[in-house]
Structure formats: C-alpha cells, structure tokens
Structure 1
Amino acid sequence: MSAIDPRTVLLLTGIMGGLMSLVLYSLKRNYPASIEGLGDWSAALLLLFAGGLLVAGRGKLPNVVSISVSSFLLWSGLYLAYVGSQRFFGVKPRIAPWMALITGLALVQLWFSVVEPSYHMRLVLTTVATACLSGVHAWLVFRQGSITFSRGLAVGVLVFLFGAQVMRLVTSFSAPFPLNAEFFDTSTLQLTYITSFAFSVLLFSISAVLMATDRLRIELEHLANHDSLTNALTRRHMDDACRSELERCRRHGHSMALLIMDLDHFKEINDIYGHQAGDQALINFVARVNALLRGPDQLGRFGGEEFVALLPETSLDEAIAVAERIRGACTLAGQAPACTVSIGVTTNRKDNDSVDTLLARADAALYRAKAAGRNRVEVA
C-alpha cells in the first residue's frame, strides 16, 4: 500500500498541464504563423486536463462521465497532440479516420462501463489506445531528421509512455483482477502506472515548448542571414563568408572566385511595369542563379539589383564559365519583363588580398561590362 493518493497526483498534474496549455497558447499568439501546431498542442493539454479532472472524480461522478467521457477526452487529447506534431513538422493530418476510431473505442468503453461492467476490459482498451497513440507519435517525431535535445526529449517521453502502457497491458493478464477492482487502487504498481502517464504528459508539454523555441531560433537566424524578398543571403553574411573562405584559401593555397552581378536597366522595369514586377524579376533572377550554383557556392544580395556570388575552390576559367551560364540563362529567360545581367569576375591572387580588394576588383570589372554595352562578363 502507498501513502500517496493517485487522485491527488492526477489533480496536481492536471493543473500543471492546464498552465502549460496557457504557455503554448501564448506562444501561438506571439510566434510567427509559420510555426504551426502550437494551437493543437495547447488544445490537447486542455483536453487532457479536462479528462484528468473527470477521472479524478471517479466514484463521485456517474460512471458514464468519469469513465467513458473521460476516456474519450484523454484519447482525443493524445491524438490532438499528435496532430500538433504533424502540423509542426509539415505533415498533413488525417483527422476523420482517427476520430472515428477514438469514438468507436469510447463506445466500447461505454459498453464495459454500463452494460457489462469489466474493469479489466476497460483497462485493456485504455492501454492499447494509449500505446498506439504514443507509439505513432514517437515515430513521427523520430523521423524528423537529426535529433536535437528538444525532439530527443519528446521521443524519449513518448517511448517511455508507450513502454509503460505495454507493461501495464501485460501485467493486467498476469495478475487476475477481482470483481471489485478500482482505478484508484493504492498498490505500488497501479500508482506507478498513473504517475507515469501524468508526468509523461507534463514532460511532453515541456518538450513541445522547447521544440517551438528551437524553431523560432532557426527562423530568426534565417531572417538575420537572408534577404526577406529574394531569400538570397544578406551582405553581412556574405562579408563573413568571403572573409572565412579567403582565410582558408591562404592556409591551403586554394583559389576562390567572386562574381558581382547587376541587372541591366532595372529602373526601367520598375518604371514601366511597376515595383511588383521589379520585385518578381529579382526573385526570378535569384532562383535562376541558385539553380546554376553548386552546393558550397553562396549567393547574396548587396542592395537593390546588385548580387554577389562566392565560388569556393574555383579557378578564373571556371568562374568565367559559371558567369557565362548565368548571363545566358537570364538572356534566354522567357518570363516578362525581360532582364539581362552584367557580371564582373575576379579571383584571389595574393596573400595580402582582402575581401575589400576582391570586391573592388570585381566591381571594376562590372563597371567595364556596363560601359561596354551591358549583358556581358568582364574579368579583373
């Protein structure tokens, strides 16, 4: 026998779950709309909180409410937490089949509560449903790339819950249940299963907050390093990348290339077609250039219609070939308005080269391309 009251454990955990629901709802209100699933996680904790309150009222509330309705709320809460994770990771949920299954299980639970009361059968239904929901949820989170601390915590909690439910199912057959078995039996085994579920819900809510925080950090880093219109890298990021690559080239004696690109007569595009058309021309240009670059290459926007490409491990002849491919792709592009590009190319030459000298040489080559009639590649 245990001196700990399982009813108290459920109530305290439910209150904490309700508070975590408010935390997640606050995150939903304040985080970018691109971070999905927070509202589902918040609603899931509310359902689990409500279901836990009804379970805690067992013996004081009608069985239909404290057993069948509470089970429906708890299973729905676990499923909604799974839906939240699906949306968070960009997976489209299939709600109707799952809710039909949960409703069917709740009706069977109702049968074994009212028509043919059987605590053992209700326990089997509860453990199987909880194990299935936690198992598919853990597999979903596990499949989302490399494991971070937050996702590792979520997977660990869900796997623990799955294992606890499987053990509960196994022990329910190995230990016979008396006719008057009760959910709030104070045996050590029963208390362990109740507390494992309660604290698993709390720990998952913490992991959800951590996953949302990680996603926000990633989005803020992306915004800090990428141009909001074209998604090209920012000038600050390109300056740092060029400096790091130049230092690496000095250490190993390698070659790097810089391309400065400027869209020809871009002001006329804005004047004739409007600024929205001009914005789309910039977006299209970045898409075309990125399609021609290698994985290690980086493309940044230096302002207006001027862009810089960093090409590591690239000789001058290779850089000229890349520049000509870019120029040709812009010349042949069928999208209106038509927009050609002038390109200045340079590579590192001396040990005392700096990012500023490289940019100055490439800019001088670009100026010559403009002076020679535009839609050209020049080298410095």
Structure 2
Amino acid sequence: MPQIDLRTTVFLSSVMSALMSVVLLSAYYSFPRTIKGIGYWVTGLLILVVTPVLFWLRGIVPDWLSIVVGNALLLGAIGLWTLAIQAFYGRPQTRGLAAGLTAVATLLLAWFALAAPNYVARVIIATFFVSIFYTMQCVLMLRHGERHFSTYFFGGLMAAQTLVVMARFGTSLFAGLAEQTLFAPDDLIQTLYLSANTFMVLALSVAFMLVITRRLHVELDILSRTDPLTQLLNRRALYDAGQRELERMQVDGEEMALLLIDLDHFKRVNDSLGHAEGDRVLKEFSAMLKRELPAHAYPGRFGGEEFLVLLPRTGMDGALALAERLRSMSARFFGRRIAELTISIGVACLDKTETRLDGAIGRADRALYRAKSAGRNRVEAVMEAA
C-alpha cells in the first residue's frame, strides 16, 4: 500500500477550506439575513485556511506557533461552527462556553508543548475538546433540525466526524503513541485521522450549504404564499388550499364553508389616523383571527381590508356560529380604541358538486353585501348553491 504524505494531506485541508470559504462567502452576501449562522461558518473556514499551514510548518517554525497557536485556531474554528449551527436553528449563542473551552484547551496544550513536552497528552487534549464541540453540533441537529434529506446528510457527516475524533481520542489513551509525531509515516491511525479531517472540511461545508439552501427555498415558498403585512395566506395560497380541500371533499364527502370578512369603516381609520395606524389595525386583527380560528381553518387576506377564511369539515351551522363569535369578539376588541370599527361577514357553503371556489366566494360576497346594506356589524349567509 503506497504511503500518504501527511504534510500534503494537511496542506490540502487548507486548500479545501479556501475554496469552500469562497462559496459560503458568496452565500453570506446573497442570502437573506433571516438565514443565520453563515458568517460564523465562513469565519471558521477562513481560520482553517491558516491552521493547516501552521501544522504543515511543524518542526520548521517554533513550537509555540505551530502547536499552541495552530491548535488554538483549530479549536476556535470548530467552536465557531458550533455557534453557526446554534444561530441557524435559532438557539441561544454559547459564545462564553465556546471561548472558555478553547482557552482551557489552549492553556493545557501550551503546557504540554512548552513546559512539559508530551505529544500523547496534546493529542488527548485536542481530540477531547474537539469532540465536545462536534457532539454539541450533533445534538443541535438531532433536536432542532428539519426532517429533510439535507439535515440527514449534514447530521450523518457530523456524526461520522465525531466518531473519528473520538476514535483518535481513544487510541491516544490506549495505543501507546508516546514515540509518535504528527507526521509519523507508519502511523495508520494518524493517517486515517488527518485524511478524514481533510475530507470533512469539504464535506461538512457542502452539507452546511445544502441546509442553508433548503432554508432559503422554504423561506421563498413562504414569501410566495404569505401576505407580507398580516402574515396570513395570500389570495394565491388561499385558492391552492381551497382546491386541495375541494378534492379531499369529493373523496370523503365532508362539508366545507367559507367566511368573507370585511372591516367596516376601515377607510376612516386611514383617513383620520393615517395609514400606519391602518396597517397596525390590520395586523392586530389578523393576529386575533389566527388565535380564534380552529386549527384546520385557512385564514387569508383577500384584498385590502377583506379577509377570506376557508373552513374544511364545517357546515353552515358551524360556520354561522363561528362567524357570530368573531363578529362579537371583534366589536369588543376594536371598541376599546376605535368605537366605529366593526366587521361584517358573509357566509357560504360549498356544494359537493362544485370543483372551484369561485361560486362559493361569489355567494359569500353577496351575503357580505347584504350585511353591509343592512347596517354593517352583521353576519349574513347565502344558503343555496349557484
């Protein structure tokens, strides 16, 4: 079996880090700021461009530089990756813990490099603290990661890397490596360890790119289906949801109703209090609507101050009762601040023969017009299908 030049392997790790830092740096500047953690990961990669060079210079430059500074930078980079995953999943940032672990490990490494040189002790210390960081990352992904291929791939690679580091820690304890060095040519375990680390710098960064790209796709999909002001479904998403429920309705034979809601005298709010106050009213009403509707409902902004609520598995009686509860609740909700602001609601049910929402929406619109004509702050319904 041909021998692998470990110095070349370590140098390749620097090259891999440099290449992936360019890719992730591009993502950092082009992805929305709602996707957190990319900056931490890029900073870790940039540090890993320098770290292998210091290891490569072992025996050429002073030990305090190649051993102490090199390992401190390695631990700092992996600590930054831990912070990146915490930020990505929206978890509290343990900067103090990461800095503390890195500092303690560096002090111990400095002692066994300069005061009482001991290669085995340094390997034990470095692999022990690195395995802590990797274990933290695995736990974060296991507890908070999305159930998706990108997370499984990332988590699988991280688990494999954790096992490799732990295996190196274990062999340092029991394999009698006292006479070995970092670039020992006949040390199979060290060869596998350094080779795996070189590969994992690339593989883990690619996997992280996959999970942040997946998050980007999810956010773009949400934006395409959500009204930006109220965070309710937009008209397109309402029609898509309604079509799915109509198809399900054809199969299981259950009923479906809808509510068309309009805020009475809303124009007066904009005219007298300003559009900012009008936007606040729309957001507060939308939040209340989401709280009060059943879990299976689909609330959405239909346009302006009009809202449409799809109610699968709901008949006319249930829809009328819910509409009346929303009307009375809204009157109390708005009455404390804007006495003239109430809601009117038009109710309609879908016939089992209907294949589109348009007919039922038209009936609900007629019912809403009837409620408006009768003095507002009312619930009206059109019972029959077109």
What's the TM-score once normalised by structure 2's chain length?
0.95
Partner of residue 57, structure 1: 57
Partner of residue 357, structure 2: 355
Partner of residue 275, structure 1: 275
> Does 2:134 correspond to 1:134?
yes
Partner of residue 186, structure 1: 185
Instruction: Provide the rounded CA distance (Å) in 1 between the counterparts of 2:338 and 2:40.
Output: 44
Q: Which amino acid aligns with 1:184?
A: F
Q: Which amino acid aligns with 2:359?
A: T
Q: Deviations over 1:227-274 (max 9, x none)?
A: 011011011111122122223223322110010001101111000000
Assess if the C-alpha contact under 8 Å between 1:138 and 1:154 holds in 2: no
Structure 1 counterpart SS, 2:353: coil
For this pair of structures, how many residues does the alignment match? 379
Instruction: Provide the rounded CA distance (Å) in 1 between the counterparts of 2:235 and 2:241.
Output: 10
Instruction: Provide the rounded CA distance (Å) in 1 between the counterparts of 2:193 and 2:355.
Output: 67
Structure 1 counterpart SS, 2:184: coil
Structure 2 counterpart SS, 1:83: helix
> Does 2:381 correspond to 1:379?
yes
How much has 1:163 moved relative to structure 2? 1.0
Instruction: Provide the rounded CA distance (Å) in 2 between the counterparts of 1:314 and 1:177.
Output: 72
Identity of aligned residues (%): 37
Q: Which amino acid aligns with 2:273?
A: Y
Q: Which amino acid aligns with 2:56?
A: A
Instruction: Provide the rounded CA distance (Å) in 2 between the counterparts of 1:20 and 1:342.
Output: 57
Q: Which amino acid aligns with 1:349?
A: D
Q: Which amino acid aligns with 2:349?
A: T
Change (3 A) 1:266 1:172: same
Partner of residue 305, structure 1: 305
> Does 2:334 correspond to 1:336?
no
Partner of residue 168, structure 2: 168
Instruction: Provide the rounded CA distance (Å) in 2 between the counterparts of 1:232 and 1:76.
Output: 42
Instruction: Provide the rounded CA distance (Å) in 1 between the counterparts of 2:178 and 2:310.
Output: 75
Partner of residue 118, structure 2: 118
Instruction: Provide the rounded CA distance (Å) in 2 between the counterparts of 1:355 and 1:5.
Output: 69
Assess if the C-alpha contact under 8 Å between 2:13 and 2:197 holds in 1: no
Change (3 A) 1:222 1:195: same
Q: Which aligned pairs between 1:246-325 and structure 2 lie closer than 5 A?
A: 246-325=246-325
How much has 1:178 moved relative to structure 2? 4.2
Partner of residue 24, structure 1: 24
Tell me whether 240-249 or 304-313 shows the greater mean CA deviation: 240-249
Assess if the C-alpha contact under 8 Å between 2:78 and 2:133 holds in 1: yes
Q: Which amino acid aligns with 2:113?
A: S
Point out where structure 1 has 5 or more consecutive residues left out of the alignment: none
Q: Deviations over 1:166-195 (max 9, x none)?
A: 21122223322344x210112322110111
Q: Which amino acid aligns with 1:308?
A: L
Partner of residue 199, structure 2: 199
Tell me whether 277-286 or 347-356 shows the greater mean CA deviation: 347-356
Q: Deviations over 1:53-84 (max 9, x none)?
A: 11111111111111000000000000000001
Change (3 A) 1:273 1:322: same
Assess if the C-alpha contact under 8 Å between 2:249 and 2:352 holds in 1: no
- Return structure 1 stretches of 4+ with deviation > 3 angstroms: 334-338
How much has 1:135 moved relative to structure 2? 0.7
Tell me whether 365-374 or 88-97 shows the greater mean CA deviation: 88-97
Assess if the C-alpha contact under 8 Å between 1:281 and 1:337 holds in 2: no
Tell me whether 221-230 or 140-149 shows the greater mean CA deviation: 140-149
Assess if the C-alpha contact under 8 Å between 2:120 and 2:178 holds in 1: no
Change (3 A) 1:353 1:376: farther
Assess if the C-alpha contact under 8 Å between 1:48 and 1:78 holds in 2: no
How much has 1:28 moved relative to structure 2? 1.2
Point out where structure 2 has 5 or more consecutive residues left out of the alignment: none
Assess if the C-alpha contact under 8 Å between 2:253 and 2:352 holds in 1: no
Change (3 A) 1:352 1:225: closer
Instruction: Provide the rounded CA distance (Å) in 2 between the counterparts of 1:231 and 1:148.
Output: 25
Instruction: Provide the rounded CA distance (Å) in 2 between the counterparts of 1:349 and 1:36.
Output: 47
Assess if the C-alpha contact under 8 Å between 1:288 and 1:329 holds in 2: no
What's the TM-score once normalised by structure 1's chain length?
0.96
Instruction: Provide the rounded CA distance (Å) in 2 between the counterparts of 1:153 and 1:250.
Output: 39
C-alpha RMSD of the superposition: 1.5
Instruction: Provide the rounded CA distance (Å) in 2 between the counterparts of 1:119 and 1:59.
Output: 13
Q: Deviations over 1:150-173 (max 9, x none)?
A: 221221122112211221122223
How much has 1:354 moved relative to structure 2? 3.3
Instruction: Provide the rounded CA distance (Å) in 2 between the counterparts of 1:332 and 1:372.
Output: 20
Instruction: Provide the rounded CA distance (Å) in 2 between the counterparts of 1:247 and 1:193.
Output: 56
Assess if the C-alpha contact under 8 Å between 1:277 and 1:337 holds in 2: no
Structure 2 counterpart SS, 1:141: helix
